[in-house]
Amino acid sequence: MAVRHTENGTTASAGTDSVSVRGVTKTFATKTGDVSALEAIDLTVAEGEFVALIGPSGCGKSTLLRLIADLDTPTAGTIEVFGKPATRARRDQDYGIAFQQAGLLPWRTVAANIALPLELHGVPAAQRKARVAELAELVGLTDFADRHPDQLSGGMQQRVAIARSLAERPRLLLMDEPFGALDEMTRERMQTELARIAAETGAAVVFVTHSIPEAVFLSDRVVVMSPRPGRITQIIETAFGKDAARDESLREAASFFDRVTAVREALHGVPVPVAGREER
Amino acid sequence: MTTTLEPTRGPAAPARAKPPRAARSRALSAWLWGAVGILLLAIVWELYKFLGPSDGVVIGGVRILPRTTDLAMPHVWDMIGRLLQPVTRAEGSPPLWAAIALAALTTLGIAAVGWLVGLVVGIALALVMQRWRLVEWGLLPWIILSQTVPLIAFAPIVKSWGSRIDIAGVEWQDWMSVALIASYLAFFPIAVGALRGLQSPDRIHTELMHTYAAGYWPTLLRLRFPASVPYLLPALRLGAANAVIGAVVAEVSTGLQGGIGRLLIQFAGQASGDPSKAWAPIFGAIALGLVAAGSVAVLGLLLKDYRRGEAT
């Protein structure tokens, strides 16, 4: 169900899903007994697809993302990224990641922060420089390449973090509430930029968020989760169309409000049939 | 956190970076206040010497303020004047300040060697403690305990052990004993500060390095060492001060010639005939400490990028 066409000519064999989660359960051992964070999760993210995970606190959406990123291991079930185990995928640098906090290294300039993953993986300096310039351009920070993070606004820091996550042209982006700490106006502009970047790079995105409009605006599918234990309750297709522009006009379109309503009702557990919703 | 709406509109106003002129005038006023402090101390000294009773202030048999005789408290100008005169009346004797400076430089060199050894040992200890939690639990109490050993008792033993050491034809020199004792004092704050610094990176940063599949050494080099700088610099300054104190005390208790510690003892013995002379090595020791701490401050200037506030 690849909604966006890939243009960057990656070497993906056709038909390999970006992420495949099968029967995944995660329990955390605590002093008061085991806490079930995730239970029987099945989820497939197709190549180039934008999937948002949404749900109340404690529904395990961040945990699911961390499992895909191999920052944690599932108690049961399997996770495959591009057809290989999550650990392999991490070692092969198959994904880029961005967190709620930008997590920039304060002693490095914007350019050096973006270059960090390239540096760690031995990309030659000349190539690194070219790639960093390209990425700074992509996120609109060319004039700020020599600044340090403490000289940037929160939104700009977050854009550096996104540029960094894109440094190695990953075919999968994992984002854990990357815009959660931003004000509403910055947030909307960042969403538009991310939609553009995702379309340009053709990368699949798994995007954790608290915000219903954000999830609807960005994604091809919105995965609604419920807590205690963390489960997928519904998956809603936004179905705005293959080449629908993610811009300001979409935010005011009737279809947009339809999907927002659908996601809201799914979150609150009120079953109202709406076009474009799909029960799974 | 401020958010600029249009990033292309202009540079974000960095709240911390001050215009250079303000920074310069602040540095100037710091020097000025330092000078005022020294001047004030001299005035208080002279004022008490002028007003205080010559036998000092004694309450219930305990002297709580010193005698004000020229023997106990020479005039400030006498002490400064004495620095310009020759060390002894002998023909060709160098001026006192030159002798003091030479001795202070000798001690500084020994202290610097001790500081370097302390730096290497301290960082090595911090590295193994950071790497293995078990080592931290096992080692840290011993490191703290090591600092309770009385230095003065310790110094002659080190010297006598040293005199029996002969490694590959290199004979153990007395100054090496002094440097070793200086390093013994210097390594402690460095080890503790470096450990805190190496442990300081946030989880988000260590996890980021994990997602980059970066192993121990790349993480150490690119994350832990740079992140430890703000913790390391105060530790290095403490270490430098400790190395100087350690070197001076060790010179005194091992009787090493040529350093400021030796002059302290020697000139104190001549104080009854030449009270101003006894103060010269004290000034020398103070200058020595300032130079040592100042060198670390210069190091801090070179590493200023690593001392930026944590960006959120």
pLDDT exceeds cutoff 90 at B113: yes
- Nearest C-alpha of chain B: how many angstroms from A32? 25
Tell me which of B53 and A248 has the higher pLDDT.
B53
pLDDT of B11 above 50: no
Distance from CA of A93 to the nearest CA of B (A): 7
What DSSP letter does each residue of B269-288 carry, written as one string?
HTTTT-HHHHHHHHHHHHHH
Tell me the mean pLDDT in the region A85-105. 85
With CA atoms as reference, the chain A residue closest to B205 would be: A103
Average pLDDT, chain B: 82
Percentage of the residues of chain A whose pLDDT score is greater than 90 = 2
Residue among B7, B214, B309 minimizing CB distance to A141: B7
**Global pTM exceeds 0.90:** no
Of residues A69, A141, A150, nearest to B309 (C-beta)? A150
CB-nearest to A99 from B204, B209, B305 is B204
pLDDT higher at A255 or B291: B291
Q: Which residue of B has its CA nearest to A182?
A: B3
Kindly determine whether residue A105 and residue B202, on different chains, have CB atoms separated by under 8 Å.
no
Chain A nearest-CA residue for B225? A107
Is residue A95 within 8 angstroms of chain B, CB to CB? yes
Q: What is the pLDDT of residue A241?
A: 64
Residue B311: list chain A partners with CB under 8 A.
102, 104, 106, 148-150, 152, 157
Q: Which of A3-7, A167-171, A222-226, A233-237 has the lowest mean pLDDT?
A: A3-7
CB contacts of A139 in chain B (<8 Å) are none
Q: In this model, does residue B296 exceed pLDDT 70?
A: yes
Interface test with B, best of A152, A187, A190 (most B CBs within 10 A): A152
CB pair distance less than 8 Å for A95 and B309: no
Give Dmax (Cα) for chain A.
Answer: 56
Q: Do A186 and B229 touch (CB under 8 A)?
A: no
pLDDT at B108: 92
What ipTM was reported for this prediction?
Answer: 0.78
Question: Any chain B CB within 8 A of the CB of A143?
Answer: yes
Span of A192-206, B3-17, B46-60, B178-192 with lowest mean pLDDT: B3-17
* pLDDT (0 to 100) of residue B20: 62
Region of poorest pLDDT, from A150-164, B102-116, B139-153: B139-153
- The strand pairing partners of A226, in sequence order, are A231
From the CA of B193, how many Å to the nearest CA of chain A?
19
Domain boundaries, chain A: 19-94+170-278, 104-169
The whole-angstrom distance between A268's CA and the closest CA on chain B is: 32
Q: Which two tokens stand for residue A55?
A: 């749900």
What is the rounded CA–CA span in Å between residue A148 and residue A6? Answer: 34
pLDDT over 50 at B305, yes or no: yes
How far off is chain B from A259, nearest CA to CA, in Å? 29
Residues in chain A with CB shorter than 8 Å from the CB of B309 are 106, 150
Closest CA of chain A from B188, distance in Å: 27
- Measured between beta carbons, the chain B residues lying within 8 angstroms of A147 are 11-12
Mean pLDDT, residues A151-176? 87
Percent pLDDT > 70 in chain B is: 91
Residue A230's pLDDT is what? 82
The more confidently predicted of residues A186 and A119 is A119
Which of A70, A117, A140 lies at the smallest CB-CB distance from B7?
A140
> Hey, is the C-beta of A142 within 8 angstroms of any chain B C-beta?
no
User: Residue B299: its pLDDT value, please?
Assistant: 87
B178-196 pLDDT, tens digit each: 888 889 888 899 999 999 9
The predicted pLDDT at position B19 comes to: 56
Q: What per-residue confidence (pLDDT) applies to B114? A: 92
* CATH for A19-94+170-278 (3.40.1380.20, 3.40.1350.10, 3.40.50.300, 3.30.110.70): 3.40.50.300
Hey, are the CB atoms on B311 and A106 less than 8 Å from each other?
Answer: yes
User: DSSP character for B223?
Assistant: I
Q: Least CA distance to A96: which residue of chain B?
A: B211
Q: Which H helix or E strand runs over A119? A: helix A110-120
DSSP lists the bridge partners of residue A235 as A223, A278
Which pLDDT score, from 0 to 100, does residue A15 have?
A: 56
**Helix extents (H) in chain B:** 20-51, 76-84, 96-131, 133-146, 151-162, 174-198, 203-211, 216-219, 225-254, 260-269, 275-302
Answer yes or no: CATH 2.40.30.10 is held by domain B94-307.
no
| pLDDT over 50 at A98, yes or no | yes
User: What is the average per-residue pLDDT within B6-18?
Assistant: 43
Q: What is the pLDDT of residue B275?
A: 84
Query: Who wins on pLDDT, B115 or A155?
Result: B115
Between B21 and B274, where is the model more confident? B274
Q: Which residues of chain B neighbour A106 with C-beta distances below 8 Å?
A: 308-311
Asked if residue B116 has pLDDT above 60, the reply is yes
User: Residue A31 has what pLDDT?
Assistant: 81
pLDDT of A116-155, one tens digit each? 998 888 888 888 888 898 888 877 888 888 888 888 888 8
What is the mean predicted confidence (pLDDT) over B267-280? 84
| Partner-chain contact A97 B208, CB within 8 Å | yes
* Candidates B3, B207, B233, partner chain A, best to mutate (most A CBs within 10 A): B3
Query: Contact B3/A116, CB-based, under 8 Å?
Result: no
Minimum CA–CA partner of B216 in chain A: A120
Does position A275 have pLDDT exceeding 80, yes or no?
Answer: no
Indicate the domain borders of chain B: 94-307
Residue A110's nearest CA partner among A99, A98, A102, A100 is A102
Supply the mean pLDDT for chain A. 80
Residues of A in contact with B3 (CB under 8 A): 153-155, 182-183, 185-186
Taking the CA of residue B128 and the nearest CA in chain A, the distance in Å comes to: 23
CB contact under 8 A, A153 and B1: yes
pLDDT reading at B69 higher than 70: yes
Could you report the per-residue pLDDT of A23-77, keeping only the tens digit for each?
888 888 888 878 778 888 888 888 888 888 888 887 888 888 888 888 888 888 8
Of A188, A250, A244, A249, nearest in space to A214 by CA: A188
**Residue B40 pLDDT grade (very low, low, confident, very high; cuts 50, 70, 90):** very high
User: Is the separation of the CB atoms in A103 and A177 below 8 Å?
Assistant: no
Long-range Cβ contact pairs of A193-198 (< 8 A, separation 24 or more): A193/A139, A193/A140, A193/A159, A194/A162, A194/A218, A195/A50, A195/A246, A196/A246, A197/A138, A197/A139, A197/A162, A197/A166, A198/A4, A198/A50, A198/A173
Residues A67 and A24 sit within 8 Å (Cβ to Cβ): yes
Distance from CA of B300 to the nearest CA of A (A): 14
* pLDDT of the residue at B10: 40
Smallest Cβ–Cβ distance between A106 and the set B209, B222, B310 belongs to B310
Instruction: Report d(CA A33, CA A26) in Å as an integer.
Output: 14
Question: Which of B2, B222, B305 has its CB closest to that of A153?
Answer: B2
Using the predicted structure, report yes or no on whether residue B115 has a pLDDT greater than 90: yes
Residue A240 sits at the chain B interface (C-beta within 8 Å): no
Nearest-CA residue of chain A relative to B211?
A90
* Neighboring chain A residues of B17 at a CB cutoff of 8 Å: 151
